[in-house]
Every structure is written in C-alpha cells, then in structure tokens.
C-alpha cells in the first residue's frame, strides 16, 4: 500500500515542471490527483495519461488563476471529480521579471492575483472543505531573500504566502490540518531555467555545494513527505529546499 492510499490531492499548475513532478509523485504514493493547467492542455493530458497508465487515477482541469472566480470554484470542481479532498498543493505561479520603473499595473496585478489572491481563496475554501487531518502545501521561493533586481513583485507575493502559512497553520491545527511552505532554490524547469542557456546552468551548478542545480523531483519528494503521515508533527514551517546553497 502507498502512504497516500485513499487520499485525494489537488495540485495547481500540475502540467509542467515542479507541478508535474508533484502530481506524478503523489499519484505514485497512492493519491487520486486533480491537477490544473492554465494554457497547455496537451501537457496536462500527458500527466493524466502517465498516472492512469501506471494504474492511478487523475483528472486535468483548466484553471487560469489570473481570474479569482476560477479559484473560488476550483475545490468544488475537484470534489465533483474525485470526491472529498485531503491535500492541497498551491504550486501555480506567475513569475515576471520587471524592474520597478518598468513594472506595469497589469503585470503587478496578475502576479498578485495568481500568487496571492488565488492561493488565499483556495486555502480559505480548503479550511471549510478539506477533510480532517489534511495537508496544505505552498510552493514559495528563496527569491524572498535573494534581492534580485526585477523579482520584487514575485518575491513579495511569495512572502505573503509564507505569512499565510504560519498563521493558518495555527488556525487549522484543531482539525489536524497542517500548513507548510517549501522554498525551492534554482530548479531546472521551463519557467526558471529555459531562458538561461546551458552555459549559465553549468556555471550555477559548479557554484552549488552538491554540484548541480535542482530538479523537479527534488521538490516533489519534499512535497510527498509533507503530504504523508510521517509529517504529522511538521506544521507552520517554511522549509528551504535548495541543496544547501
């Protein structure tokens, strides 16, 4: 038996990169998985196919989290497909890179809606609908402390979610629902490293204590631990998972 047998998970942004690895890992551990995508339906279908081919159950749901109304209906939609939820993974993100003088109102608003407003609404709904003993896992970022020009809006949005994590872990503890955040470092995904070029990635790897940059599976393993029964005493934590850099 898997550690997540008879559990149901919702993973936002589950069609690519870290979200894809999370969806596959939770399914491998026995969970039924509902994953969302914003644009790339083919990638989402591929994840569902990989899970079902391996004997699991999965569903893909279109959910553009730039629109709060989508987030407000998402948990109910997931329940209609898979039944009551046990695990919520807030992974979907918008990560623009704009210097302060060049950041438009629209870009700032999109960042805050996807990265703050939508997770807020999903966690609020989870507080009402998640089964007792459930898990809420937020994917944050070490950009919060990096002071990288152009990442202020993104870093600020992730800092807000980390604050949510600490407070709501206390609020939901009476129902044994734990709330934790994971701060990845550099991870080799299309969102983060595709535009860097192979040489830049190799330089980053040489400066890393472990001699490489992160892979999506590195983060999926941490999520799997937090989603499972062995993490029952881990609550309200901001976990840095960056290989020690």
Q: What is the pLDDT of residue 148?
A: 87
234 within 8 A of 222, measured Cβ to Cβ: no
Is residue 95 predicted with pLDDT exceeding 90?
no
Task: State the residue range of the domain holding 122.
Answer: 8-240
Domain count of the fold of the chain: 1
Q: What is the pLDDT of residue 152?
A: 94
Residue 98: pLDDT band with limits 50, 70, 90 = confident
- 140 lies in some domain: yes
Q: What is the pLDDT of residue 189?
A: 85
- 185 lies in some domain: yes
In sequence order, what are the residues at sequence separation of 6 or more whose Cβ sits closer than 8 angstroms to the Cβ of residue 5? 30, 31
Tokens of 146: 């990096």
- 119 lies in some domain: yes
List residues with catalytic annotation.
Answer: 154
- 245 lies in some domain: no
Helix (H) or strand (E) holding 162: helix 152-172
- Can you tell me the distance from the alpha carbon of 145 to that of 122, in angstroms, rounded to the nearest whole number? 25
Q: What is the pLDDT of residue 191?
A: 63
Burial of 216 (0-12, 13-18, 19+ CB in 10 A): buried
- Can you tell me the distance from the alpha carbon of 103 to that of 111, in angstroms, rounded to the nearest whole number? 11
CATH of the domain at 185: 3.40.50.720
Tokens of 162: 């980390």
Average pLDDT score over residue span 152-160: 96
Average pLDDT score over residue span 46-64: 98
**For 170-189, what is each residue's pLDDT tens digit?**
999 999 999 999 999 989 88
102 within 8 A of 193, measured Cβ to Cβ: no
Residue 58 pairs in a beta bridge with 33
Tokens of 149: 């020009």
């Amino acid at each position: 038996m898997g550690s997540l047998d008879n559990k149901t998970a919702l993973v936002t942004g589950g069609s690519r990169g870290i979200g894809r690895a999370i969806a596959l890992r939770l399914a491998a551990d026995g969970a039924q998985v509902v994953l969302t995508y914003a644009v790339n339906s083919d990638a989402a279908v591929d994840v569902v196919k990989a899970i079902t081919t391996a004997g699991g159950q999965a569903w893909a749901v279109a959910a553009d989290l730039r629109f709060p109304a989508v987030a407000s209906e998402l948990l109910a939609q997931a329940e209609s497909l898979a039944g009551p939820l046990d695990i919520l993974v807030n992974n979907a993100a918008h990560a623009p890179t704009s210097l302060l003088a060049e950041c438009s109102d629209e870009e700032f608003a999109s960042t805050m809606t996807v990265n703050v407003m939508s997770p807020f609404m999903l966690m609020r709904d989870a507080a009402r609908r998640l089964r007792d003993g459930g898990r809420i896992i937020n994917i944050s970022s070490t950009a919060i402390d990096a002071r990288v020009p152009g990442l202020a809006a993104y870093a600020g949005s992730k800092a807000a979610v980390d604050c949510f994590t600490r407070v709501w872990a206390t609020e939901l503890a009476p129902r044994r629902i734990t709330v934790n955040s994971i701060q990845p470092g550099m991870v080799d995904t299309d969102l983060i490293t595709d535009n860097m070029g192979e040489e830049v990635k190799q330089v980053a790897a040489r400066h890393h204590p472990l001699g490489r940059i992160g892979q999506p599976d590195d983060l999926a393993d941490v999520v799997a631990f937090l989603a499972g029964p062995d993490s029952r005493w881990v609550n309200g934590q901001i976990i840095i998972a960056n290989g020690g850099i």
